[in-house]
Structure 1
Amino acid sequence: MPSHLSADRPAAPPPGRGPVDALISQTRRLKGEVDAVRRDTPADTADPRERWRRALYDLALHQLDDLDGHLAQLRDDPLPVPGPAPAPHDALLSRVGSAEWDLLTDEVRWSGELYRILGRDPATAPLTLDELPSLVFEEDRPGLTAMVTDCLVDARPIDGEFRVVRPDGGVRTVHMMGEPVLGADGSTASMWAVLRDVSELRSCRRAVSETRDSLHRQRHAAARTEHRLAVELQEAVLPTWHGPLRLPQAGPGTLDLAATHLPPSAHARIGGDWYDALE
């Protein structure tokens, strides 16, 4: 079976362990610093702003975890073969799987990580491209079909997400990236793909979005309350409007007019222009 490295470009040599180990050390140091700041942010609070800050820290830590795991894969170069479920400390590495579909021989190869992402028994045969949509949410099937068709017919890269339902009923969000492998005659001989379980990442992003929306709603509610209080204060202080003042023809001896502008302050956020007239 042709490997995805046999496409019309040479394979890049793998990076040395030294530079990758240095990147892993930097990532883990940054992860520790972010986690230290995160621990100072309350987890259970009624303040929407604090909840939003906490969700952002959680998202950043999750992304750093992913980066740490991907760099470890790059350093260790594990073979993508089916195998038993990973040990707890290997759970992160199981979130990325690979697959290849040979269009000439109808052979399909899945890595062990992909079996675990989809919750399938490694002893069973991997699904063909025609069978793969059976795992996907009905709403997401047209998008997956379009990506695969564009890849096989027009040799376009695959880059998209869809939701799958595991046999145990669990739902996972999978990000799929892949390319066609061209044969000697220029036609598509096979298709390879890397599939990543991004369920936790999407969950963190939803938490950030929800807490941000909650913060915006609170700010809008506070602004409406402040405006209502300003209107009520204005109505309480200013006299009722009775129309223009009609002075006697002889007029008063003198008429004192006064006006001042009071800007909002840090303590009293209500300001305005004030006028008065006295004989």
Structure 2
Amino acid sequence: MTTKELLQSFTEYLQIERNYSAYTIVYYNQDIEEFVLFLGQQSIDHITKTTYVDVRLYLTELYNQKLARKTVARKISSLRSFFKFLMREDIVHDNPFALVSLPKKQTRIPQFLYEDELDKLFHVTDTTTPLGQRNQAILELLYATGIRVSECCKLQLGDIDFSIGTILVNGKGNKQRYVPFGSFASDALELYIHNGREELVKQASTSTNTLFVNFRGNPLTTRGVRLVLNELIEKSSLSVHISPHVLRHTFATHMLNEGADLRTVQELLGHNHLSSTQVYTHVTKDRLKNVYMTHHPRA
């Protein structure tokens, strides 16, 4: 089989057996194709001829490019998975990436917004207009639930249960979870659904059950949500960076600051591993230290 055919088989395996998202598969393919180009530069005509020496040379090339450790780790992980698949299919007998250790990721404190910054954001939207009602509903829901922007854009009208204040979220790998939302998000959603959304969908040529729509009445994209948030920042005159993920970080940080336990926040965020949620404890510890240093008489 040619390298192209092997990559196609691997893509089908990721789609069907592993149920990976299209976004993840694109990165897997890019990482493998870049490695194939590198092998060509080394006069190696087929990926199955890769040796551990070739892998070490490739790692040197990656480090010379001064790539972030996170990027290097992802590329190694992609290639390791690919060769593991080739071993499973009896196409190769060993995995040249098996002994390569992943570089330790840099620990970055997640960026989040303080309550006064959020308060400014919540008061800049003109909720007398359909788009204003939609934008307010997006902002309130993202902060109230901490859902990912992709999850937000996939929400359907039937996913919202106002009687008990929860939404059904379709997360990564098609895993579903229920996430509660509060009264502010509930009020914003009801206003949008019964007023603004009804006006917006009149512009569309086909009907849709997608919760958030654009000015043409069609489903709103993740890029559209980011543009909405950028517009709100400009109106609020805040100098901070904001994105859907910053609101997700803010949700998690505020929950932990107010005493929520880590397992609950993990479940609400849809994290598979507790380690993904633990990064937010660094934020709360830093906050506790700052409060102590500011207010203790002998700090």
TM norm structure 2: 0.19
- Which structure has the bigger radius of gyration? 1
Give the structure with the larger strand fraction.
Answer: 1
